[in-house]
Amino acid sequence: MPCASGACSPRACVRELSERQRAQAELERQRQTLHRSERLSVLGTLAAGISHELRNPLSVVVSQAKLLEDELSAERPQARLNAILRAAERCAAIVSAFLDQSRYGPRKTEHFALTQVVESALDLSTHVLREHDVSLIIEHAHPDVTVKGDPHQLSQVVLNLVLNAATAMQDSAAPRQLVISTRLNDTQDTVEISVADSGPGIAPELRERIFERFFTTKAVDGGTGLGLAICRDIVAAHGGRISAHASAQGGALFLVQLPAGRHAQRVAASAESDASSVPSYRVLVVDDESEIASLLCEILELAGHEVDIAASGESALRCVAEVDYHFVLSDMRMPGMDGAMFYEMLCEQHPELVTRLAFITGDTLSPNVAGFLKRSGIPHLAKPFHPRQVTELVAQLAEKTRHAPVGRSR
């Protein structure tokens, strides 16, 4: 209460000072949040460019290694080649996972074993567990259980949980233990992945908040507070949920629940059969990167197709004016006429080819490209790719248009 002289009472002054301090603290928190958002935005833009440049050489490494693997039968070269192929695929998965930090809907949909998600995550994190002296226990109650979605994104979720657990246990007394379990629930409609550690655990009042963006229990500069928020968004995009609990060891337990996949083996076998029985088609490959164009040509020719190459959108238009192509596989980012402009010209000059066009691109993150692909509905394959994915793309176009085998030049 103000005194007679108009001066502020000590209690009122303290309250006013406390409110001012809280306001300043909140302002500082918002400023830091904005700064983080701006920094992440800049990093995301840089990452998109870097990832695009990496995807072309990675496509060559992965596909050439796979083609060479098919040609070799000697045991020692085969083992070395398998190691190279696994390393290249891991690099490709890292690039894909890095880009997936900016989009949380499933990037692609396929049936795969739940154990594959765990193994892929451990490929990237086992050395961290060794460094932190953490013993690992893996329990697969139903090894054959499958899910449908994007294996790279879900592997990123498990990887994040494993790395968080290793960090949480670094100050805990030995023995440090991490238990990863997978199982099918009693009604057989939900699969579960649990990651449990022997660390300090998570206070009950924080078990919901830790999934909020920019909320972190780590020390300053110890984390962005985005990891678990991204995990939540990825899992939700796959029709599941993620929750935090107390583990049997007294630490934290994260439970990921996802819809169970159905008829995965039949679907996979059918897709493989369809890809291997594709008849011969006349295909035009459009890419300004000569190594990528030559690689696609080799993959398609090995599958029995006839292939021509165009190094630009302008050159491709001249080709389609002279030859009846069944399908056209084009890059998106090219100097001069890019993929979107090439698509528009096909709509005007050769509308019959629009439904037989597909894009193979390393740039699916930029708003312009992502928006165009969504609006046009044109099938597309992201680099880096496997030879099998290229032949399956042609099979997909063939099924879509039900085209007859090879046509003739005009």
pLDDT, tens digit, 9 for 90 and up, residues 295-343:
999 999 999 999 999 999 999 999 999 999 999 999 998 889 999 999 9
**Cα within 13 Å of Cα(260), Cβ side:** 17
pLDDT digits (tens, 9 = 90+) for 183-211: 988 888 899 999 999 999 998 988 888 88
Structure tokens at 206: 């924080």
- Give the pLDDT score at 271: 42
Give the confidence band of 146 by pLDDT, cuts at 50, 70, 90: confident
Q: What letter would DSSP give residue 222? A: S
- Give the pLDDT score at 275: 45
Q: Residue 260: which of 202, 189, 315 has the closest Cα?
A: 189
Q: How wide is the angle at C-alpha 152 spanned by C-alphas 148 and 156, nearest 5°?
A: 115
Residue ranges of domains in the chain: 15-95, 103-263, 270-401
**Percent of the chain with pLDDT strictly greater than 90:** 33
- Give the pLDDT score at 339: 92
Mean pLDDT of the chain: 79
pLDDT digits (tens, 9 = 90+) for 43-58: 555 555 556 566 667 7
Structure tokens at 152: 């790279």
Give the confidence band of 94 by pLDDT, cuts at 50, 70, 90: low
Give the confidence band of 69 by pLDDT, cuts at 50, 70, 90: confident
Cα torsion through 51, 57, 63, 67, rounded to 10 = -170
Q: What letter would DSSP give residue 319? A: H
Q: What letter would DSSP give residue 205? A: G
Whether 270-401 and 103-263 are alike in CATH topology: the answer is no
**Average pLDDT for residues 229-241, to the nearest whole number?**
90
Q: Which residue has the higher pLDDT, 17 or 114?
A: 114
Over 80: is that where the pLDDT of 137 sits? Answer: yes
> Does the N-terminal peptide bond of residue 143 adopt cis geometry, omega within 30 degrees of 0?
no
Matching residue, tokens 């054959």: 144
**Average pLDDT for residues 277-294, to the nearest whole number?**
87
Q: Residue 378: which of 342, 349, 324, 409 has the closest Cα?
A: 342
Over 70: is that where the pLDDT of 357 sits? Answer: yes
Alpha helices (runs of H) in 245-380, residue ranges in sequence order: 264-276, 290-302, 313-322, 339-349, 367-376
**Average pLDDT for residues 20-25, to the nearest whole number?**
73
Architecture of domain 270-401: 3-Layer(aba) Sandwich (3.40)
Burial of 98 (0-12, 13-18, 19+ CB in 10 A): middle
Architecture of domain 103-263: 2-Layer Sandwich (3.30)
**Percent of the chain with pLDDT strictly greater than 70:** 70
How far apart CA 135 and CA 73 sit, in angstroms, is 37
Assign 110 to helix, strand or coil: strand
pLDDT digits (tens, 9 = 90+) for 24-45: 777 766 666 665 555 555 555 5
- Give the pLDDT score at 274: 47
**Average pLDDT for residues 154-165, to the nearest whole number?**
90
Structure tokens at 23: 């306001």
> Does the N-terminal peptide bond of residue 175 adopt cis geometry, omega within 30 degrees of 0?
yes
Give the confidence band of 156 by pLDDT, cuts at 50, 70, 90: confident
